[in-house]
């Protein structure tokens, strides 16, 4: 993990006791706290390169005590945030990925399916299919994954996070010409805002301010 991420994690950990009541009673604070934990987990997984095998094997490595604690805190926070109708879809979407990394793929699939009953928001729907597809790839269910990627692409046809991944599946399956055409189309079409960047959460500075206000 980078030094910046480690220091951010330590600072936010010091806020945890002061935030406990707010996380339980204020869904907006709960969501912000969950995102703060999620950000750290994503950075840790990226640095370690263990994301896929960790949840597939239903166990994070022994060195992952901090990541496991963050995941549990994120899951608790997103469960609280789901009680707010305005936050329910986003909190459920994030809870799905948190649940996946904790080792329960079936529950993650159930949560992402639930997102589709909670909202008509295109970006949330796109991400529910994208995450479903990525999990199916790691499980070795390539045909089902391709279908999920196509569901995502039907919502945002020019978004590259699903389109490039679907082309990669085509290439692996031996459909090289089709994969090449798919990639060419994506790279030559005008750029569009990819919903994946919504999950990365460009509102993180705003959410950090929400947490700071809650511990004052």
Angle, helices 88-101/27-48, rounded to nearest 10 degrees: 30
- Say if residue 158 is exposed, middle or buried (CB neighbours under 10 Å; 0-12, 13-18, 19+): middle
Number of folded domains that form the chain? 1
| Cα–Cα distance measured from residue 119 to residue 14, given in angstroms and rounded to the nearest whole number | 35
What's the pLDDT tens digit per position in 10-50?
555 555 555 665 566 678 888 888 888 888 787 777 666 55
- Name residues of the chain where pLDDT drops below 50: 1-5, 7
DSSP state of 203: T
Residue among 177, 149, 144, 154 nearest 164 (CA): 149
Gyration radius of the chain over CA positions:
18
pLDDT for the residue 133: 93
pLDDT for the residue 3: 46
The CATH number of whichever domain residue 106 belongs to comes to 1.25.40.10
Domain that holds residue 85: 3-215
Q: CB within 8 A of 210, min separation 6: which ones?
A: 28, 29, 32
In the numeric block, the tokens 């949330």 are attached to: 124
């Amino acid at each position: 993990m980078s030094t910046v991420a480690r220091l951010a994690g330590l600072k936010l950990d010091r806020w945890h006791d002061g935030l406990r009541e707010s996380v339980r009673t204020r869904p907006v604070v709960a969501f912000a706290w969950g995102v703060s934990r999620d950000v750290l987990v994503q950075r840790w997984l990226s640095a370690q390169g263990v994301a896929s095998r960790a949840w597939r094997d239903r166990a994070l490595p022994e060195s992952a005590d901090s990541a496991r604690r963050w995941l549990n805190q994120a899951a608790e926070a997103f469960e609280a945030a789901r009680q707010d109708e305005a936050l329910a879809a986003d909190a459920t979407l994030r809870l799905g990925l948190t649940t996946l990394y904790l080792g329960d793929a079936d529950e993650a699939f159930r949560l992402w399916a639930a997102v589709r009953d909670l909202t008509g928001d295109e970006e949330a729907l796109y991400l529910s299919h994208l995450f479903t597809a990525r999990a199916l790839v790691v499980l070795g269910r390539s045909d089902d994954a391709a279908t999920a990627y196509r569901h995502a692409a039907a919502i945002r046809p020019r978004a590259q996070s699903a389109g490039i991944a679907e082309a990669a599946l085509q290439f692996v399956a031996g459909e090289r010409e089709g994969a090449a055409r798919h990639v060419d189309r994506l790279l030559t079409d005008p750029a569009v805002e990819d919903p994946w960047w919504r999950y990365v959460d460009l509102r993180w500075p705003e959410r950090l301010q929400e947490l700071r206000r809650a511990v004052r």
